[in-house]
Amino acid sequence: MIKKARELKVEASILINRYRFIFYPLYFLAIALFIYFVVYKILLVNVLNIEFNYKLNYAIFFTNYIEATRQSYVDLYVLGVITTIKISIISLVVAMSLGTVLAIFRLSNVKVLDIFAKSYIEFIRNTPLLIQIFFWYFGTDPLLPKVFTTWLKAQSNVEFAYGVIALSIYTSAFIAEEIRAGIQSIPKEQMEASRAQGFSFLQAMRLVILPQAIRIVIPPLISQSLNLTKYSSLVMSIGVVELMASSRFLFGGTARIFEALSVTTIIYLSLSLAISFALNQYNKYFLSYTRY
Amino acid sequence: MKKLLVVALALVMVVAIFACEKAPAPEPAPVGDGGDTIVAPVTISTIEAIKERGVLRAGVKDSVVPFGFVGEKERELVGFDVDICRYIAKKLKVKVKFTAVTSANRIQMLTDGQVDILAATMTHKIERDEVIDFSITYFMDGQKLLVPKDSEIASIDDLAGLKVGSVKGSTSEKNVKEAQPDCEVISFEGYPEAFLALKQGKVVAMTTDSVILVGLMGSDDNPEDWKIVGDFFSSEPYGLGLPNNDSEWRDFVNFTLMEMWRNGEWKKIYDKWLGEDTKYYMPLSWEIELWP
């Protein structure tokens, strides 16, 4: 009986340990309450006599943005969040593939490819993303054949496509450097040893070098995907209605900037936390460090 | 986590004790002649603050021809709004300092106290009136469409299923969606971007207050390539933005505006920027609200 209770206790503690991420929101809530009551209510209001002269009104989210179609600001935000997630995922996939190709170019023995990849990476990494977005959207127009651009203009959601192009090209430069660094961090003797064992170059890459390199590359790739999610807010400058644009519409229409930006911040925070949590789990369960 | 909780609890207790000690001994109320401007900035009237500072800080647009823009010859901010502010400053016998604002940040600039008055082509809306105050209408406008000369679009009804450009943070994008829910609105950061998109054919029309369209058209290299079509589909009474709940300053601005209308100064400024001999000609078809 006693033993059983102890076993149960151990099992419970293992379970709690495994699913401890469920408590993360509670920690955030505790910190928020602490800041609100202790820092704001007691310190600022009571001790220093400072009070914010602004009445929050979150009910504004349920008013209609467009009366004609009865579209509320909540609908607008939902639309924005979906677009943000969509643009982030698509751009991330494209950027990963592009980045891997570029990293291989950087490491290849063909001098031309190396120089091409190097100049591409340095140019893209060292110019502001906003300028690149404007370049792809406004600047490529005169360079492309007229037949193509007229076809393009008739499509809907072109802005989204331009956003994906700009974001994935920008991020691919960073990802390429990280993957290259990961591959180069594996001592080249391992490659030589594998080749001496009779593996072909591709086999050695696939079975020996890459499995190790990926484990090293995953943490910086997580930060890149977080950056990408946050940078996606810049594509609103070419008219993509994503999360940041939704909040712009809210405070353009109602002048409620505090409400708009606080909700937007919380949504971005949860999105980023969800992404880093998911990728960390992936890292933990599929690419466990203990295996090598 | 336990450690953190202990630290947090300790902090709460320390602050609570601090607050309790402080609470029973309130500081004596300031008696007029002290330098107590920091304690209660809300009670100081804007008009006194301006006179004390000797400078009226006005927020104006910097790329909206002919309301607030950087003049080619003058190399400084000029325009209709700028001249209105200059007159108010002259009436107060103070200097004037202009700050460039955008549709998206102007209300925040005013509520933060970075400017005393906003003359930034801002439509007086009830929603906006919640956080700031407005003067009487100093300019009356409405929304129209700007299209290329050979375009088949004649009114808002023709826009169904097509793309129309607008500017974020303004009321334009909302109005056009109300009037024509079937069109796709692409919102840009500023009027130059929206006009560029129209020039490249990425949108088939752009919409905003007609006077801004007149200004954009007039500043183009070939104004005859463009035309403004359709009826007004929104009414846009422009008001000067003023800090909330400061009736002394609001009265002063209102009386000054009426005085300008009565002594012909308003008409003089109007003719200078929008009169018959300018490239932004717009017939004057309304009257300011005059209190007997």
Look at the block and give the residue holding tokens 């509520």: B111
Is B34 domain-assigned?
A: no
Across A197-205, average pLDDT:
88
Look at residue B24 and tell me whether its pLDDT is greater than 60: no
- Please list the residues that pair with B137 across neighbouring strands: B239
Look at residue B184 and tell me whether its pLDDT is greater than 70: yes
On whether the CB atoms of residues B248 and B45 are closer than 8 A, the answer is yes
Mean pLDDT score across all residues of chain A: 86
User: What are φ and ψ of residue B246, in 5° steps?
Assistant: -130, 80
Look at the block and give the residue holding tokens 């308003």: B266
Look at residue B256 and tell me whether its pLDDT is greater than 90: yes
Residues B78 and B189 in one domain: no
Is B18 domain-assigned?
A: no
Is B28 domain-assigned?
A: no
Look at the block and give the residue holding tokens 């009571």: A46
CB contact under 8 A, B188 and A138: no
Q: What is the distance between the alpha carbons of residues B191 and B197, in angstroms, rounded to a whole number?
A: 10
Question: What pLDDT does A288 receive?
Answer: 59
Helices (H), chain A: 2-18, 24-34, 73-107, 111-125, 129-134, 146-154, 158-184, 188-196, 201-204, 210-231, 243-254, 257-286
Q: What is the distance between the alpha carbons of residues B280 and B257, in angstroms, rounded to a whole number?
A: 23
Per-residue pLDDT reduced to its tens digit, A157-183: 889 999 999 999 999 999 999 999 999
Question: What pLDDT does A59 receive?
Answer: 84
Which residues of A have a CB under 8 Å from any CB of B? 27, 30, 34, 38, 42-43, 46-47, 49, 53-54, 65-69, 137-138, 141, 149-150, 153, 156, 158-159, 236-239, 241, 245, 248-249, 251-257
Which of the two residues, B211 and A101, has the higher pLDDT score? Answer: A101
Q: Which fold has domain A62-291?
A: MetI-like fold (1.10.3720)
Q: What is the distance between the alpha carbons of residues A292 and A111, in angstroms, rounded to a whole number?
A: 33
Per-residue pLDDT reduced to its tens digit, A220-250: 898 899 999 999 999 999 989 999 999 988 8
Look at residue B7 and tell me whether its pLDDT is greater than 70: no
Residues B62 and B180 in one domain: no
On whether the CB atoms of residues B171 and B107 are closer than 8 A, the answer is no
Q: How many domains does chain B have?
A: 2
Residues B216 and B91 in one domain: no
Q: B68-70 and B63-64: which strand pairing?
A: antiparallel
Question: What pLDDT does B30 receive?
Answer: 43
User: Two tokens at A100?
Assistant: 């891997």
Look at residue B19 and tell me whether its pLDDT is greater than 60: no
Mean pLDDT score across all residues of chain B: 83
On whether the CB atoms of residues B135 and B257 are closer than 8 A, the answer is yes
Question: What pLDDT does B9 receive?
Answer: 60
Q: What is the distance between the alpha carbons of residues B70 and B279, in angstroms, rounded to a whole number?
A: 16
Across A277-287, average pLDDT:
77
Q: How would residue B142 be classed by pLDDT, with cut points 50, 70 and 90?
A: confident
Across B27-32, average pLDDT:
42
One-letter-per-residue 3-state SS of B205-240? EEEEEHHHHHHHHHHCCCHHHEEEECCCCCEEEEEE
Q: What is the distance between the alpha carbons of residues A20 and A6, in angstroms, rounded to a whole number?
A: 20
* Closest C-alpha to A191, from A214, A164, A209: A209
Residues B116 and B161 in one domain: no
On whether the CB atoms of residues A172 and A98 are closer than 8 A, the answer is yes
Q: How would residue B25 be classed by pLDDT, with cut points 50, 70 and 90?
A: very low
Look at residue A128 and tell me whether its pLDDT is greater than 90: yes
Q: Which domain holds residue B246?
A: 47-140+237-274
CB contact under 8 A, B15 and A42: yes
What is the arrangement of strands in the sheet containing B77-78, beginning at the earlier edge strand? Answer: B63-64, B68-70, B77-78
Question: Which of A122-131, A226-235, B217-226 shows the lowest mean pLDDT across its residues?
Answer: B217-226
Question: What pLDDT does B236 receive?
Answer: 83
Question: What pLDDT does B170 receive?
Answer: 72
Question: What pLDDT does B61 receive?
Answer: 92
Question: What pLDDT does A46 receive?
Answer: 74
Inter-CA distances, B92 with B48, B54, B242, Å: 10, 9, 16
Q: What is the distance between the alpha carbons of residues B288 and B286, in angstroms, rounded to a whole number?
A: 7
CB-CB neighbors (< 8 A) of A236 in chain B: 168, 187
**Domain coordinates of chain A in residue numbers?**
2-47, 62-291
A276: left (phi over 0), alpha (psi -120 to 50) or beta: alpha
Q: How would residue B11 be classed by pLDDT, with cut points 50, 70 and 90?
A: low
Q: What is the secondary structure of B122-170 as a DSSP string?
A: -B--TTGGGTSEEEEEEEEEEEEEEEETT----SGGGGTTSEEEEETTS
CATH of the domain at B153: 3.40.190.10
Across B44-51, average pLDDT:
87
Question: Which of B111-120, B191-200, B273-282 shows the lowest mean pLDDT across its residues?
Answer: B273-282
Look at residue A290 and tell me whether its pLDDT is greater than 80: no
Closest-CA distance, A252 to chain B, in angstroms, reads: 4
Cβ atoms within 10 A of the Cβ of B12, count? 14
Across A199-214, average pLDDT:
86
Which of the two residues, B213 and B170, has the higher pLDDT score? Answer: B213
Look at the block and give the residue holding tokens 């109602």: A254
Closest-CA distance, B264 to chain A, in angstroms, reads: 34
Q: Which among A50-59, A87-96, A219-228, B98-107 has the top mean pLDDT? A: A87-96
On whether the CB atoms of residues A292 and A212 are closer than 8 A, the answer is yes
Look at residue B27 and tell me whether its pLDDT is greater than 50: no
Question: Which of A16-30, B26-40, B137-151, B204-218 shows the lowest mean pLDDT across its residues?
Answer: B26-40
Question: What pLDDT does B115 receive?
Answer: 93
Per-residue pLDDT reduced to its tens digit, B86-136: 999 999 999 999 999 998 889 999 998 899 999 998 989 888 888 899 999
Per-residue pLDDT reduced to its tens digit, B52-77: 999 999 999 998 888 999 988 888 99
Is B183 domain-assigned?
A: yes
Number of Cα atoms under 13 Å in the Cβ half of residue B221: 2
Helices (H), chain B: 2-22, 46-53, 80-92, 106-111, 172-179, 191-199, 210-219, 247-262, 265-274
pLDDT > 90: percent of chain A:
41
Is B111 domain-assigned?
A: yes
Closest-CA distance, B42 to chain A, in angstroms, reads: 9
Residues B108 and B242 in one domain: yes
Look at residue A254 and tell me whether its pLDDT is greater than 70: yes
Residues B220 and B250 in one domain: no
Is B9 domain-assigned?
A: no
**C-alpha torsion A83→A87→A90→A94, nearest 10:** 170
Is B291 domain-assigned?
A: no
CB contact under 8 A, A256 and B16: no
